[in-house]
Amino acid sequence: MRAVFIIFQRAIVWDYYRKNVLFLLVIVLFAFGFLSGQEHQTIVKQALNSPKLLVYTGFLWLLHGVKTYLFILRSLGQPEFRFLFHLRLLNLWQRLVLWGYVSFMLSQLTFLYAIFMVVIGFILGKLMSVVFILSSQLFVMFLGVFIYERRIRQTPEAKAIFSFSFPQFFKFRLPAVLFYHKYLLYKEPILLLLTKFFSIFSVLFMVWLFPTDEYDHRLFSIAAVIIAVSHLRICSQYVYFHNSHLAVFNNLPLGFWYKSIMLVIGYFILLLPEIYLFMVRAQPLVSLSYAFAWLIFVISLVVFIHGFQYLQTLSDDSKMQYFFFGFVFVLLLVMYKVPLFLLSSFFFLCGFGLLKKLENDYEPVQ
Amino acid sequence: MMLEVNQFRKKYNQHLVLEISELRISEGIHWFVGKNGSGKSTFFKSLAGIIPFEGSLLFQNMSPHDQKCKFLVNYSEAEPKYPDFVTAKDILTFIAYAKKAPSGQLADLVSHFGVVDYWENNIGTYSSGMLKKVSLVSGFLGRPQLIILDEPFILVDATSIDKLYEIVARTQAEHGTSFFLSSHQDLLPEKLKIDSVFIVDNKTIVKQ
């Protein structure tokens, strides 16, 4: 049994944290970069006194849980993880214990914070709130156990797809630039939802934080970097979608600039919720020229991330390492007040350069 | 010479699948025969600019990745794969636009192959034969000088095969278009005048 634990630890748990290192970094940046210990205590005390805030917190934890469920379901569907289906050789109780362990390990990000809240809850004598917090955590973990066990009982080839269909009357002529957006809606709704939720939350958080202290525009520039980083998987999925579902489009005589404009429009549409929120909520706080520079900066970052996906000489792990250090480096540049137009020009140049140089030679791994 | 191939090599994961030291092909209708996995589709996809390759592959002195070349070479996949949540109309309209198809050509083609009956439904609802016909329509859009039809006679019914013979002969007669057709079976199509046969075997292509 110990051996099985080690296998799942290495194949699932470590893999999750390795692939989400950027996500974790952003969370840590949020939690400890912008908020002091005193502010955390104030927030927790407010939440313990407000059932509404507690429910919101529980919802956030559930959302993080969904992210982990999706990761495991996706991993189990991949050929290299098929061997994990041998878990069915163990009896039900052993499997449940194992899934419980995996679920617990993947919930550490929210679980540790929940423990912090529980301690404060006990000190303040808020027992009902403590019960709610612990129940929410247990619910998220048990739901994970149920989902994983259900999946392992199916065949490895069975597809765990969360998809939905629009009613007939919703049909309209779809321009090619929106094919990927429809793909996300139909085939990857959870990915889209989680990305958008996190991304929009970043914008709203920064807009809320801005007037509370002596922050300057760099705060919004950091939000732009976080938005781009949270779209990392959306960008890699874009390249995958094009090469797996529309490979024949490579036979179309589309010019480089036409494809580039299509790409920029595609990402602009994808980023519309964040852009709209920023323009509406941050408008009283920033000038129109900064808002425009911010918009260009966000798009240049996602275009660069998109172009970077075509680098086939790097493994996925190496790419993540580069993204990690790149992310830190860009944050430093922003902190040192490097002008946004300079950064945007650099990222557009590199993104389009990579696209032009590598797109024709790109071939998905067989 | 329409097509000139020199020192062509294609590998998947460092595994060599096709190597052609030299090959010249002139205009006409050409038949490529080879068993499954022999490299027919790989050669065709390389020529259509869909996948990268090593060496030289020149269509009228143009690389397959040239934008101009992509106007002149059309490709219809053996086993087409499109997103199942869009309609054939969405896909074909975009291809027709990109290939600068003459006005009315798309309507004529979908009508000819019977695609018009279902092309407003999502591709996910199609059978493999219906999907294959969508791919065949896409192969004829625009004014190409070479149309590559990869395994055109599989998956489709007898009526559609007759319609395909008819449109291939007509397109060649009216526009002088060349065709590369492939099959994993040795049988030659009876209703088409084939100019030459190429054997795809032992990781290379030779003229019979």
Tell me: pLDDT of A169 over 60: no
Q: Report CB contact under 8 Å: B83, A173.
A: no
Tell me: pLDDT of A349 over 90: yes
Average pLDDT over residues B8-30: 93
Q: Which of A192, A248, A310 to mutate to test the interface with B (most CBs of B within 10 A)?
A: A248
Write the burial class of residue B67 (CB in 10 Å: 0-12 exposed, 13-18 middle, 19+ buried): middle
Residue B144: phi and psi, rounded to 5, are: -75, 155
Tens-digit pLDDT profile for residues B175-190:
999 999 998 876 667 7
Q: Which of A159, A246, A251 to mutate to test the interface with B (most CBs of B within 10 A)?
A: A251
- Check if B85 contacts A (Cβ < 8 Å): yes
Rounded Cα distance between A334 and A348, Å, is 17
What is the ipTM for the molecules in this complex?
A: 0.92
3-state DSSP of chain A: CHHHHHHHHHHHHHHHHHHCHHHHHHHHHHHHHHCCHHHHHHHHHHHHHCHHHHHHHHHHHHHHHHHHHHHHHHHHHCHHHHHHHHHHHCCHHHHHHHHHHHHHHHCHHHHHHHHHHHHHHHHHCCHHHHHHHHHHHHHHHHHHHHHHHHHHCCCCCCCCCCCCCCCHHHCCCCCHHHHHHHHHHHHCHHHHHHHHHHHHHHHHHHHHHHHHCCCCCHHHHHHHHHHHHHCHHHHHHHHHHHHHHCHHHHHCCCCHHHHHHHHHHHHHHHCHHHHHHHHHHCCCCCCHHHHHHHHHHHHHHHHHHHHHCCCCCCCHHHHHHHHHHHHHHHHHHHHCCCCHHHHHHHHHHHHHHHHHHHCCCCCCCC
Q: Report CB contact under 8 Å: B49, A250.
A: yes
Residue A45, Cβ neighbours under 10 Å: how many?
16
Place of tokens 């995958």: A240
Confidence at A270, pLDDT banded by 50, 70, 90: very high
- Partners of B87 in the beta sheet? B122
Q: For residue B51, what is the nearest residue in chain A, using CA coordinates? A: A363
Confidence at A32, pLDDT banded by 50, 70, 90: confident
Nearest alpha carbon to residue A330 among A356, A311, A355, A308: A308
Average pLDDT over residues A154-171: 59
CA distance, residue A117 to nearest chain B CA (Å)? 45
Average predicted confidence (pLDDT) for chain A: 87
Confidence at A1, pLDDT banded by 50, 70, 90: confident
Rounded Cα distance between A352 and A341, Å, is 16
Q: Report CB contact under 8 Å: B81, A252.
A: no
Q: Report CB contact under 8 Å: B52, A361.
A: yes
Tell me: pLDDT of A50 over 90: no
CA distance, residue B103 to nearest chain A CA (Å)? 18
Contact list in A for residue B50 (CB cut-off 8 A) is 247-248, 250-251
Q: Which long-range contacts (CB under 8 A, 24 or more apart) does A332-338 make?
A: A334/A218, A334/A221, A334/A222, A334/A225, A335/A218, A337/A218
Q: Report CB contact under 8 Å: A250, B74.
A: no
DSSP state for residue B197 in the 8-state scheme: E
CA distances from A107 to A140, A289, B78 (A): 8, 42, 46
Q: Report CB contact under 8 Å: B13, A366.
A: yes
Q: Are A319 and A363 in contact (CB under 8 A)?
A: no
CA distances from A328 to A133, A215, A307, A325 (A): 33, 20, 19, 5
Q: Report CB contact under 8 Å: B13, A363.
A: no
Nearest Cβ partner of A176 from B51, B89, B94? Answer: B94
Confidence at A215, pLDDT banded by 50, 70, 90: confident
Contact list in B for residue A240 (CB cut-off 8 A) is none
Confidence at A365, pLDDT banded by 50, 70, 90: low
| Cα dihedral across residues A154, A159, A161, A165: positive or negative | negative
Q: Which of B50, B77, B97, B119 to mutate to test the interface with A (most CBs of A within 10 A)?
A: B50
CA distance, residue A242 to nearest chain B CA (Å)? 10
Contact list in A for residue B49 (CB cut-off 8 A) is 250-251, 360
Tell me: pLDDT of A294 over 70: yes
Q: For residue A362, what is the nearest residue in chain B, using CA coordinates? A: B52
Tell me: pLDDT of B193 over 60: yes
- Check if A244 contacts B (Cβ < 8 Å): yes
At A292 the pLDDT is 92
Confidence at A170, pLDDT banded by 50, 70, 90: low
Domains parsed from chain B with CATH numbers? 28-50+70-207 (3.40.50.300)
Nearest Cβ partner of B98 from A179, A186, A254? Answer: A254
- Of B3 and A35, more confident: B3
Tens-digit pLDDT profile for residues B38-71:
999 999 999 999 999 999 999 999 999 999 999 9
Tens-digit pLDDT profile for residues A99-146:
999 999 999 989 999 999 999 999 998 899 999 999 999 999 999 999
